[in-house]
Amino acid sequence: MVTQTITVDKAPGRWARKYPHLGQEPLPVGPYVDPEYYEKEKARIFKKQWLYVALEREVPDAGSYKVRRLDCADTSVIIIRGKDNVIRAFHNACSHRGNTVVTEAGQETYGRNRAGVVTCRFHGWVYNAQGELVNVPHEDRFYGCFNKAENGLTQVHCETWAGFVFVNVDQGPVQSLKDFLGGYGEHFGTFDFAACDYGFTYHTTLNCNWKVASDAFAEAYHVDTIHAGSFPNVFQSGIEDVELFGPHRTCSVRLQVGNLPSTPIGDMANARSRSSLAAQGGSSSLPSTLNPNRDPDWAFELSVLFPSVLLHVSEGIWFTHQFWPIAHDKTLWEGKYYLKKPTTHSELWGFERAMVLQRNAWLEDTATMEDTYRAMLSGAKTVQHLQDEEILIRHNCVVVDEFVNS
Ligand code: FES
Ligand SMILES: [Fe+2]
């Protein structure tokens, strides 16, 4: 019999050894503060790559639509489900004189038209869910060169994965969403995202570059200091299971449950709710790709779906942080948290406690970002020094730079 010994590399510098092409040198601050660099990011990343814009269940019926504002791509998109059950996406721009067809109520606008059409409120042009222009008031007053059949909405690429809707506003042919996601799609694709049908969301606009905001969530190094009040001494082992999938990346975060402060409220919530990262145990709902050894200290997967979505997955919970660039120095942050709908008052109470804890933690996270950015703008520091456990940030800097200079 042949026995094989697998040695797990735990020594300092292990991620740099695993991914030597990412280098170890300090990284420049320039890409965070340079407006020209941001314009290239818009042109070569946000206007060229797949962007997560909606959940399929946000447009549940024929005629349901969502409009997502995309400042990073200088547009807004209408995501609409047709009577054929297909979800399509279009620029929210009217073929008449360019008004937005659906009047937007903010960054996200939802609606439903039972006839499955959207109507521009300026002069009443009507488009169906296939994007075709189906009615023009006083059409006979237009000239002979006007062809209704050629003046539908401008379609954008739209594909779905695991219940998520993505668009790509590149006007040319693009890589399929499946190819774009690659191994990342296989890693997370069999998790039952749809089972988590209840949740909460917070958002704010931050005066900082989108990468400052994204970086602040993409490491666990800050937890002992920034979250000393919310999560003291519970995330001390660093990150594990780092994997890079093309432009995307993931790792797992371990939780030292024994270090959780014991309080009457906290103990009760962890014992009774399904909505705490500390409430593990029982049978696992995770696919075999996540926490494959079922390690008891595994808390959640921390991943980055390129370019600017952080997707976290845990037992019966998933949440995203999405960083929408508005300008080189302005970012909309949206945190969205999903879990199974509480079925008892205890679970509902546990859910509300989780909502408060996350609010506190996310306030702690977002509190650093504008300070970081102001200090970057001072020019006092031209590089940042990353340690090995900040490998996800290093990977982002390398990948973004590759796109910008492509
Ligand atoms: S701009 Fe839309 S109908 Fe005139
Ligand atoms: Fe944090």
Res. 323 pLDDT band, cuts 50 70 90: very high
pLDDT in tens, 328-380: 999 999 999 999 999 999 888 888 888 888 899 999 999 999 999 999 999 99
Pick 236 or 48 by higher pLDDT: 48
Quick check: CB of 99 below 6 Å from ligand 1? Answer: yes
Is the confidence at residue 400, as pLDDT, over 50? yes
Pick the CATH number of 51-173 from 3.60.10.10, 3.60.150.10, 2.40.160.50, 2.102.10.10: 2.102.10.10
What is the model's pLDDT at position 189?
Answer: 94
What is the model's pLDDT at position 296?
Answer: 84
Pick 128 or 291 by higher pLDDT: 128
Instruction: Give me ligand 1 centre to Cα 40, in Å.
Output: 32
For the chain, give the percent of residues with pLDDT over 90. 77
Give 385's Cβ-side CA count (13 Å radius). Answer: 1
Pick 284 or 172 by higher pLDDT: 172
Residue 206, judged by CB atoms within 10 A of its CB (0-12, 13-18, 19+), counts as buried
Instruction: Give me ligand 1 centre to Cα 49, in Å.
Output: 29
Yes or no: say if 97 and 122 are a contact pair by the CB < 8 Å rule: yes
Q: Which atom of ligand 1 is nearest to the CA of 101?
A: 2
Q: Which atom of ligand 1 is nearest to the CA of 95?
A: 2
* The residue type at 201: T
What mean pLDDT value characterizes the chain? 93
Is the confidence at residue 6, as pLDDT, over 80? no
pTM assigned to the model: 0.94
Proximal ligand: closest to the CA of 358 = 2
Q: Say how far apart CA 354 and CA 266 lie, in whole Å.
A: 10
Res. 237 pLDDT band, cuts 50 70 90: confident
Is the confidence at residue 279, as pLDDT, over 50? no
What is the model's pLDDT at position 234?
Answer: 74
**How is 114-177 classified by DSSP, letter by letter?**
TTSEEE-TTT--EEETT--EEE-TTGGGS-TT--GGG-S--EEEEEEETTEEEEE--SS----H
Quick check: CB of 125 below 6 Å from ligand 1? Answer: yes
Of 277, 297, 323, 363, residue with least CA distance to 51: 323
Which of 92, 95, 96 has most ligand 1 atoms within 8 Å of its beta carbon, as the pocket-test mutant?
A: 96
Is the confidence at residue 395, as pLDDT, over 90? yes
Which of 78, 119, 122 has most ligand 1 atoms within 8 Å of its beta carbon, as the pocket-test mutant?
A: 122
Residue 250, judged by CB atoms within 10 A of its CB (0-12, 13-18, 19+), counts as buried
Cis peptide before 307 (omega within 30 of 0): yes
Is the confidence at residue 283, as pLDDT, over 70? no
The full set of domain ranges for the chain reads 14-23+190-404, 51-173
Is the confidence at residue 281, as pLDDT, over 80? no
pLDDT in tens, 186-222: 999 999 999 999 999 999 999 999 999 999 999 999 9
Q: Which atom of ligand 1 is nearest to the CA of 99?
A: 1
Res. 271 pLDDT band, cuts 50 70 90: confident
Yes or no: say if 216 and 369 are a contact pair by the CB < 8 Å rule: yes
Average pLDDT over residues 305-330: 96
Which of 119, 120, 127 has most ligand 1 atoms within 8 Å of its beta carbon, as the pocket-test mutant?
A: 120
Is the confidence at residue 238, as pLDDT, over 90? no
Q: Say how far apart CA 363 and CA 379 lie, in whole Å.
A: 27
Res. 398 pLDDT band, cuts 50 70 90: very high
What is the model's pLDDT at position 11?
Answer: 87
Is the confidence at residue 326, as pLDDT, over 90? yes
pLDDT in tens, 15-25: 999 999 999 99
Is the confidence at residue 90, as pLDDT, over 90? yes
What is the model's pLDDT at position 3?
Answer: 62
Homologous superfamily of 14-23+190-404: Naphthalene 1,2-dioxygenase Alpha Subunit; Chain A, domain 1 (3.90.380.10)
